[in-house]
Chains A and B, each alone.
Chain A
Amino acid sequence: MCGIVGLYLKSEALAGDLGRLTALMLHEMRGRGPDSAGFAVYGAPEPGAKLVLLSERRDTDWSALARRLEAAHGAAVEVAPIDDHAVLRTEGDGQAARDWLIANAPEVTVLSVGRSIELFKGIGDPDAVAERFGLPARTGTHAIAHTRMATESAVTTAGSHPFSTGADTCLVHNGSLSNHNGLRRRLEAHGERFQTENDSEVAAGYLAWRMRGGDSLTDAVGAALKDLDGFYTFAIGTAGGFAVVRDPIACKPAVLAETDDWVAMSSEFRAIAKLPGVGHARIWEPKPAEIYSWSRAA
């Protein structure tokens, strides 16, 4: 069991409340995943790339790591530590920085890279994780969050959701995949780099690989329905988009709700129940193997 939530704002009006509302939703899903949690928030695109890094060692010298990255890349790197994470900003190529960090800084995990996404995760009570990384005060356009009850791999911070391998693309998963090892090898042969043994990271990598090859979010998810084997409800974020899909036998729960102002997704309705204007929302259960997606003009 895990709990997933997603909130995609269709109007500017609630941008300042995105983090607070996402935290409210995450709170309701604590019981479905008390061992760890995480969230990704999408804001307005920044001019350069930003990377969010995790170090499970508390003594990481973030400044020294930033200087090493600068030397390797020839572009300035700013670093802002937050608890056991750090947000790095650079004018250089974000994806290349990710690859360099994975190859040269094994003590850190690259949680996200992109111009819009910031992603944080931690072990323990989901409310405490949200508080530690300041979720309630965060603003932006959309957010995805997860409460985890681990089944497929160990309870570690790096093994918590969301997972992101491609720029501004992330995924949360309720379920388990059965063909992730074979798929991981296939994707690695295509140059994807993974940092955990987690099945859900493979799903994120698969989508990132498809979209890097030119697929739209909807096309990538459509291909995933054919290539991923297992149980899943996914909520997926991209820079300007949001998608939800369930496996063909719909093993894992999901509820969608939509108003003029927002689209909300959760494992259970109670996470949606306190959103503003929910009384007028259209509420439905996503059908098996049907792709639901929203996007705003880039």
Chain B
Amino acid sequence: MTVATLRNSVLDLATASLRDVNRTLHLAEAGSFEVMHPNGAHALACGLDAPLDVTIRGHVGYYCGGMNKTASITVDGNAGTGLAENIMSGTVRVTGDASQSAGASGHGGLVVIEGDASARCGISMKGVDIVVGGSVGHMSAFMAQAGSLVVLGDAGDALGDSIYEARLYVRGTVASLGADCVEKPMRDEHQAELRVLLDRAGYASVDPAAFRRYGSARRLYHFKVDNVGAY
């Protein structure tokens, strides 16, 4: 198969195997690709490491766009567990909903979910920016370390539980905040940052002033000598 030379092609999972489709994407150095009939396949377009433009027409399974570097991936449908897990850079966009752990442990880049994301969105995020057009489920931004999570809808229980750093912006209601996560004032610099994030995600008409900011109270950072008896 002369996959290395393919550019700007349509890859059809109804006829090609998942491995062949992923291999084609891995070997490409540039170009746009359209992937047809994903039918919920797992690990599609993972580990891309080139400035490709990939559009997947339909619903994908687990770990789509994982470890992405520089590529721009759009899922025209829903995504299963672990969308853009450990994303390094580039963009992963889903036009529908994403299941749990979207953007988990992401180091950089942008993840946009136009619909809802379910539980643990942005768990252990390490620098990725995540923008969710709908709502997020419980335990979102659990143990978040860096980056930002923007939610245009509502957040479920225990938002930002055990958060280290990362900035959380929510426009709707927050069911409850997790351990050491607190509401913080929206200063001008946060409005400005949010403006940039919303513009990058394609929400230019959304007003940053409608959001509230949450983050770490930084009470869990250090060992407290008062707790020595507990060990």
Q: Are B118 and A272 in contact (CB under 8 A)?
A: no
Residues 48-89 of chain B: 1 if any A CB is under 8 Å from the residue's CB, otherwise 0?
Answer: 000000000001011000000000000000101100000000
Asked if B137 is an interface residue, CB under 8 A from chain A, the answer is yes
Q: How far apart are the CA atoms of A274 and B59 in the complex, in Å?
A: 12
Asked if B40 is an interface residue, CB under 8 A from chain A, the answer is yes
Asked if A225 is an interface residue, CB under 8 A from chain B, the answer is no
Given the complex, which residues of B lie within 8 Å of A269, measured CB to CB? 39-40, 59, 61, 78, 80
Given the complex, which residues of B lie within 8 Å of A288, measured CB to CB? 119, 137-138
Q: With A249-B119, A249-B138, A270-B39 known to touch, is A284 a contact of B81 (CB < 8 Å)?
A: no
Q: Are A250 and B59 in contact (CB under 8 A)?
A: no
Asked if B99 is an interface residue, CB under 8 A from chain A, the answer is yes
Q: How far is the CB of B107 from chain A (nearest CB, A)?
A: 25
Kindly report which residue of chain B lies nearest to residue A271, judged by CB atoms.
B40
Q: Are B40 and A250 in contact (CB under 8 A)?
A: no
Q: Are A250 and B119 in contact (CB under 8 A)?
A: yes
Please give the number of chain B residues whose Cβ is less than 8 angstroms from any Cβ of chain A in the complex.
19
Asked if A71 is an interface residue, CB under 8 A from chain B, the answer is no
Asked if A79 is an interface residue, CB under 8 A from chain B, the answer is no
Q: How far apart are the CA atoms of A283 and B94 in the complex, in Å?
A: 14
Asked if B41 is an interface residue, CB under 8 A from chain A, the answer is yes
Q: With A269-B59, A270-B61 known to touch, is A253 a contact of B40 (CB < 8 Å)?
A: no
Asked if B129 is an interface residue, CB under 8 A from chain A, the answer is no
Which of these, A249, A274, A287, contacts B39 with CB under 8 Å?
A: A274
Q: How far apart are the CA atoms of A143 and B37 in the complex, in Å?
A: 26
Given the complex, which residues of B lie within 8 Å of A249, measured CB to CB? 119, 138-139
Q: How far apart are the CA atoms of A250 and B101 in the complex, in Å?
A: 12
Given the complex, which residues of B lie within 8 Å of A268, measured CB to CB? 40, 61-62, 80
Q: How far is the CB of A246 from chain B (nearest CB, A)?
A: 10
Residues 91-131 of chain B: 1 if any A CB is under 8 Å from the residue's CB, otherwise 0?
Answer: 00000110110000000000000000011000000000000
Given the complex, which residues of B lie within 8 Å of A272, measured CB to CB? 40
Q: Are B40 and A285 in contact (CB under 8 A)?
A: no
Most A CB contacts (10 A, CB to CB) among B40, B78, B80 go to: B40
Given the complex, which residues of A lie within 8 Å of B42, measured CB to CB? 270
Which of these, B39, B80, B97, B137, contacts A250 with CB under 8 Å?
A: B137
Q: How far is the CB of B43 from chain A (nearest CB, A)?
A: 12
Q: How far apart are the CA atoms of A284 and B137 in the complex, in Å?
A: 13
A-B pairs, top 3 by smallest CB distance, nearest first, are A270-B40, A269-B40, A273-B39
Known: A253-B99, A269-B61, A274-B39. 18 other contacts (CB 8 A): A249-B139, A250-B119, A250-B138, A253-B81, A255-B80, A268-B80, A269-B39, A269-B40, A269-B59, A269-B78, A270-B40, A270-B41, A270-B42, A273-B59, A283-B59, A284-B97, A287-B137, A288-B138
